[in-house]
Structure 1
Amino acid sequence: MDEDPSLSSELEETLEKHRTGSGTSGTLVLSDQEGYVGDTITLKGRNFPAEEAFEVLWHSTEGDWGVLKANEIVGPQYRPRTDHLMTVTSDADGRFDQEWTIPEDYGGAHKIEIQHDGETIDKAELEINPWFELETESAPLGGTFTFKGYGLGPNVVTNNYQVSWDNSTFGFMTGVMNRGTATAEIRAVGPPGKHVIEVWRNYRGIPYLQNNTQSPYGKVCGDRPSRWTVEVTEPEQELGGAWMDEQFEENPIELHYPDLDAQSDATLEITPTSGQAGTQAFITGEDFPPNKEVDLIWYRHEGHRVKGIPITPEQHRDVLPTVQTDADGRFQVEIEIPPEEGATRPITAEVDGREIAVTGFVVQPRIEKFTPREGPVGTTIEIELSGVGWTMYENGPFLVYDNKPLGYACGTSGDDKGGVIKMDIPAAGEPGYHFIDIYPTIYEMQEDEPNFEIFPHLSYLDNHPVRPLPASHFVFEVTEE
Structure 2
Amino acid sequence: MASAPAATAPLAGPRSVEPARPLSVEPVSGFVGDKFRVSVGGLPAGAAVDWQWVTLHGTYETQVSGHDVLFMQRRYKEQRRSLGRSTADGRGSVEATLTAPEDYGEVHDLYAVVDGSDVARGGYRIVRRATISPSDGPIGTPITVEVTGLAWRAFESTMALRYDNAYTGFVSAVTTSGAARFRVRAAGPAGRHVLQLTAASPGVPFLNNQQSGTAHIDNMDLRLPFTVTADAGPPAASTEWPSADRLAAVGRDGVPSAHVAAGISATLHPTSGDVGAEFSLAATGLPPSSGVQVVWKRAGEDEAAVPKVFREAGAVLVKATTTQEGSLVVPLRAAGERGGWHMVTVMVEGSVRAEIPFYVRRSLQDLSPRRVRSGEQFTIELKGGGWTELDKGVAVTYDNSYIGYACSVTSGGDITIHLVATGEPGTHLVDLYPMLYRHPGDHPAEYWNFELPQLTALDDHPGLALGYQLPIFRLAVEVTD
When normalised by structure 1's length, the TM-score is: 0.85
Please give the residue correspondences for 1:393-412 in structure 2 after superposition, counting only pairs within 5 Å: 393-412=390-409
Find out whether 1:226 has 2:225 as its counterpart: no
Whether the 8 Å CA contact 1:132–1:148 is kept in 2: the answer is yes
Whether the 8 Å CA contact 1:373–1:475 is kept in 2: the answer is yes
Find the partner of 1:148 among 127, 146, 149: 146
- Corresponding residue number in structure 2 for 1:119: 117
Q: Give the distance between the partners of 1:254 and 1:95, measured in 2 at CA.
A: 48
Secondary structure at the counterpart of residue 309 of structure 2? strand
- Corresponding residue number in structure 1 for 2:107: 109
String of CA shifts for 1:64-96, please: whole Å, max 9, x gaps: 111222822111101110112211123344433
| Change beyond 3 A, Cα 1:75–1:305 | farther
Whether the 8 Å CA contact 2:433–2:471 is kept in 1: the answer is yes
String of CA shifts for 1:69-127, please: whole Å, max 9, x gaps: 28221111011101122111233444333211111111232111112222322110222
- Corresponding residue number in structure 2 for 1:39: 34
| Change beyond 3 A, Cα 1:51–1:358 | closer
The residue type paired with residue 387 of structure 2 is W
Deviation at 1:325, TM superposition (A): 1.2
Q: Give the distance between the partners of 2:311 and 2:146, measured in 1 at CA.
A: 38
Please give the residue correspondences for 1:179-194 in structure 2 after superposition, counting only pairs within 5 Å: 179-194=177-192
- Corresponding residue number in structure 2 for 1:431: 425
Deviation at 1:283, TM superposition (A): 1.1
- Corresponding residue number in structure 2 for 1:471: 472
Q: Give the distance between the partners of 1:50 and 1:310, measured in 2 at CA.
A: 70
String of CA shifts for 1:283-329, please: whole Å, max 9, x gaps: 11222222222121112223567446433432123xx1211211112
Secondary structure at the counterpart of residue 168 of structure 2? strand
Q: Give the distance between the partners of 1:379 and 1:241, measured in 2 at CA.
A: 21
String of CA shifts for 1:249-278, please: whole Å, max 9, x gaps: 689998768999xx5644432101112235
More displaced, 108-117 or 173-182?
Answer: 108-117
Secondary structure at the counterpart of residue 389 of structure 1? coil
Q: Give the distance between the partners of 1:232 and 1:466, measured in 2 at CA.
A: 34
The residue type paired with residue 187 of structure 2 is V
More displaced, 249-258 or 461-470?
Answer: 249-258
- Corresponding residue number in structure 2 for 1:17: none
Q: Give the distance between the partners of 1:456 and 1:66, measured in 2 at CA.
A: 20
Whether the 8 Å CA contact 2:162–2:168 is kept in 1: the answer is yes
Find out whether 1:53 has 2:53 as its counterpart: no
| Change beyond 3 A, Cα 1:47–1:305 | farther
Q: Give the distance between the partners of 1:254 and 1:30, measured in 2 at CA.
A: 41
Alignment length (residue pairs): 448
Q: Give the distance between the partners of 1:118 and 1:247, measured in 2 at CA.
A: 40
The residue type paired with residue 204 of structure 2 is I
- Corresponding residue number in structure 1 for 2:207: 209
More displaced, 123-132 or 429-438?
Answer: 123-132
Please give the residue correspondences for 1:166-181 in structure 2 after superposition, counting only pairs within 5 Å: 166-181=164-179
Whether the 8 Å CA contact 1:136–1:145 is kept in 2: the answer is yes
- Corresponding residue number in structure 1 for 2:133: 135
| Change beyond 3 A, Cα 1:304–1:47 | farther
Find the partner of 1:324 among 321, 324, 329: 321
Find out whether 1:300 has 2:295 as its counterpart: no
The residue type paired with residue 314 of structure 1 is A
- Corresponding residue number in structure 2 for 1:375: 372
| Change beyond 3 A, Cα 1:363–1:307 | closer
Q: Give the distance between the partners of 1:348 and 1:135, measured in 2 at CA.
A: 48
What stretches of structure 1 move > 6 A for 4+ residues in a row?
A: 249-255, 257-260
The residue type paired with residue 475 of structure 2 is F
Secondary structure at the counterpart of residue 163 of structure 1? strand
| Change beyond 3 A, Cα 1:304–1:50 | farther
| Change beyond 3 A, Cα 1:309–1:62 | closer
Secondary structure at the counterpart of residue 178 of structure 1? coil
| Change beyond 3 A, Cα 1:364–1:447 | same
Whether the 8 Å CA contact 2:340–2:384 is kept in 1: the answer is yes
Secondary structure at the counterpart of residue 180 of structure 1? coil
Whether the 8 Å CA contact 1:293–1:351 is kept in 2: the answer is yes
- Corresponding residue number in structure 1 for 2:4: none
Residue identity (%): 27
Whether the 8 Å CA contact 1:131–1:220 is kept in 2: the answer is no
Whether the 8 Å CA contact 2:198–2:221 is kept in 1: the answer is no
Secondary structure at the counterpart of residue 226 of structure 1? strand
- Corresponding residue number in structure 2 for 1:3: none
| Change beyond 3 A, Cα 1:338–1:315 | closer
- Corresponding residue number in structure 1 for 2:313: 314
Q: Give the distance between the partners of 2:255 and 2:31, measured in 1 at CA.
A: 41
Q: Give the distance between the partners of 2:98 and 2:258, measured in 1 at CA.
A: 52
- Corresponding residue number in structure 2 for 1:8: none
Secondary structure at the counterpart of residue 153 of structure 1? coil
Secondary structure at the counterpart of residue 462 of structure 1? helix
